[in-house]
Amino acid sequence: MNNVIPAEDRILIFMHIPKTGGMTLKRIIKRQYPDINILKDITDGKTSEFKKIVSEKEIQFVFGHLSFGLHMHTSKPCTYVTMMREPIDRVISMYYYVIGKKDHPLHGIVKDLLIEEFIDHPDLKVHTNNMQTKRVLGKNSLSPSDLEQAKQNLQEHFSVIGITEMFDDSVALMKQKFNWNDISYVRKNQTKKRLSKEEIDPIIINKIKANNELDIQLYNWAKNRLVQELKSINASQ
């Protein structure tokens, strides 16, 4: 990310992608800022609310289940962080999480579905087909050429692209970039009573792979980028 304004002097937008460890990260970040300077639960349909509040208050931290692009609704400098998760495991986790959470907005649709029906349901494709790439691009319809634009968005606008499977390293890097204090945590919203990837029929796994080809490529790119950044930091210390 090439910006002349330090990350800690920008409005921090946490783009929370479902089932990537975001609830735990949100609790860590909220401790770093006064509550009066936090704008909570902003979604893609609340950009006008974001624009109004940010223009009136000294907002430092914004979070929600939102897509890339919120920064375009203010003239104030912004930066993003997000977490990305191995795409097949994210889809599996989401299925079991929604099944077990009766107050989830999707529970009514998902509660009677088998996992193979869940991944094929036409009303759920925004959640099961390349969801992470869609969020990074701020669009729901993708083509293979969108992968490079997704990488560019991450490179140019995100101070840290965390990886769920490298959660501690990801949060430590955020602490360093934003001058945070206490980053201790207790895991939140972990999906219980779920099958692992290895326990699910390989035919279903292959279907999830086919539905998430762009997510798999983007995740691997982001994970490699994080590994290289951590190596560079360790080498300089």
Q: Render pLDDT for 113-126 as a digit per residue (tens, 0 to 9).
A: 999 999 999 999 99
In a domain, 214, yes or no: yes
Phi, psi (deg, nearest 5) at residue 161: -110, 100
Q: What mean pLDDT do residues 53-82 have?
A: 96
Predicted pLDDT of residue 128: 96
In a domain, 103, yes or no: yes
In a domain, 1, yes or no: no
Does the structure show a pLDDT above 80 at 199? yes
The kind and range of the H/E element at 82 are: strand 78-84
As a 3-state breakdown, the chain gives helix, strand, coil percent values, each rounded to 5, of 55, 10, 35
In a domain, 156, yes or no: yes
Q: What is the CB-side half-sphere exposure of residue 227 using CA atoms within 13 A?
A: 7
Split into its structural domains, the chain has a count of: 1
Instruction: Name the nearest CA neighbour of 94 among 206, 1, 19.
Output: 19
In a domain, 176, yes or no: yes
- The model's pTM: 0.92
Name the β-bridge partners of 163. Answer: 84
Does the structure show a pLDDT above 70 at 2? no
| Domain harbouring 155, CATH code | 3.40.50.300
Calculate helix-pair angle for 213-236, 87-100, nearest 10 degrees: 110
- CA pair distance 176, 117, nearest whole angstrom: 43
Give the type of residue at 93: S
In a domain, 2, yes or no: no
Mean pLDDT of the chain: 93
Does the structure show a pLDDT above 80 at 60? yes
4 or 228, higher pLDDT: 228
- CA pair distance 62, 71, nearest whole angstrom: 10
Q: Which domain holds residue 146?
A: 7-236
Does the structure show a pLDDT above 60 at 1? no
In a domain, 107, yes or no: yes
